[in-house]
Amino acid sequence: MLSAACRDSIRAMIYIANLSKKERYKNRFISIYKIARDLGLSFYFLSKNFQKLVKAGLLESHRGPHGGVKPLKPPSKIRLIDIVTVIDGIDFFNNCILGFEECSDENPCTIHNLWADKRNQILNMFEKTTLEDAIKNIERFENIKV
Amino acid sequence: MLSAACRDSIRAMIYIANLSKKERYKNRFISIYKIARDLGLSFYFLSKNFQKLVKAGLLESHRGPHGGVKPLKPPSKIRLIDIVTVIDGIDFFNNCILGFEECSDENPCTIHNLWADKRNQILNMFEKTTLEDAIKNIERFENIKV
DNA sequence: ATATTTTAAGATAAAATACTCTTAAATCTT
DNA sequence: AAGATTTAAGAGTATTTTATCTTAAAATAT
């Protein structure tokens, strides 16, 4: 459902948002190399994907020593759908599951009535969930995976 | 979410199931060429994908003149999940949306609590929906897309 | 100023997916 | 029996996605 690029990006954004709250990292740039290492991701792939998030204004970047990236908004203002939109685009949430160009309540495919509902629920989840929600879970659970 | 192969296969299975109910086609093999033409799909791609459905026992095939494919079960006994399982596999419904190998209620990722629910609802939809349900919609709506 | 660190950008490579083609095998028709 | 029709199977090609590499540009530190 999410591309690998989007998966990685969401994980990284959650990680960054969480780290940025800590005193030691507040308002500091976090090195992409560190993020990739800590999350077990490819530095190359991650920095490539970050370029889109920077362009989209979700991240600010800075080169040189002590450079890296940092969020441009508080975790409560960054929704998962914002990241998905930038990396994968929003097509999934508009498109017919059977691939029809025009598929709507008025002009449905054979399973539109079933899928449209599920699709909207997923969209709803991505729209409602912010990085702050994810961070809260980090605080709540002992052995949570970030 | 569904691969192109799976999309096409579901459409084709719905089409076949619907056609097989009609007197003229009852218990007859339907040519793959005809199916592809009627649905606007690639004959090559479709016949390739059908091979899996035949092997899996969802379709019976027959070569030579008046050959083709026909369903091995009534539409009410073929669920969408059966087709998805054969073509795409079932991984999607087991896997963590952030890609963690082990992600469960006991050992969750940061958005497991949200995603697991949606994922199960989708699974539920694919498990509950049969070809018969899709066919009923064809009968119900005038301009439905098949 | 120079060297070092770090991201940006574009090129390249590898892998996965989507799609097509060719030949073979089976079945039917005559 | 011969020819036509149709799916099976495997090889081949194209496209997209994923991943890596290289060079450049910017910033810092010395």
Tens of pLDDT, residue by residue over B47-61, are 999 999 999 999 999
Q: pLDDT band at B86, cuts 50/70/90?
A: very high
Domain for residue A46, yes or no?
A: yes
Domain for residue B146, yes or no?
A: no
Contact in structure between A138 and A10 (CB atoms under 8 Å): no
Region at B78 (left for phi over 0; alpha for psi -120 to 50; beta for the rest): beta
pLDDT, residue A137, reads: 97
Query: Region B38-46: what's the mean pLDDT?
Result: 98
**Model pLDDT for residues B1-23, shown as the tens digit of each residue:** 999 999 999 999 999 999 999 99
Q: Element (H or E) spanning B87, and its range?
A: helix B80-87
Q: pLDDT band at B75, cuts 50/70/90?
A: very high
Smallest Cα–Cα separation from B53: which of B12, B94, B4, B3? B12
Distance A124 CA to D6 C1' (A): 48
Residue A101, token pair as written in the block? 């160009």
Provide the sign of the torsion angle of the four alpha carbons A27, A33, A39, A44, taken in this order.
positive
Contact in structure between B125 and A115 (CB atoms under 8 Å): yes
Cβ of B74 near strand C (under 7 Å)? The reply is: no
Q: Which domain holds residue B21?
A: 4-140
SS3 B120: helix
Domain for residue B34, yes or no?
A: yes
pLDDT, residue A105, reads: 95
pLDDT, residue B58, reads: 98
Domains held by chain B: number:
1
Domain for residue B109, yes or no?
A: yes
- Give me the CATH number covering residue A66: 1.10.10.10
Domain for residue A71, yes or no?
A: yes
Measured CA to CA, the distance from residue B46 to residue B36 in angstroms comes to 7
A56 touches chain B (CB under 8 A): no
Q: pLDDT band at B83, cuts 50/70/90?
A: very high
Count of alpha carbons within 13 Å of B65, Cβ hemisphere only?
0
Listed in order, strand segments (DSSP E) in chain B are 59-62, 68-71
pLDDT, residue A80, reads: 98
pLDDT, residue B81, reads: 98
Domain for residue A109, yes or no?
A: no
Q: pLDDT band at B120, cuts 50/70/90?
A: very high
Domain for residue B145, yes or no?
A: no
Tell me what the pLDDT averaged over chain B comes to: 97
Domain for residue A96, yes or no?
A: no
**Nearest by CB: B7 against A14, A99, A137:** A99
Q: pLDDT band at B114, cuts 50/70/90?
A: very high
What is the share, in percent, of chain A residues with pLDDT greater than 90?
99
Chain B residues closer than 8 Å to A2 by CB? 97
pLDDT less than 70: residues of chain A: none
pLDDT, residue B89, reads: 97
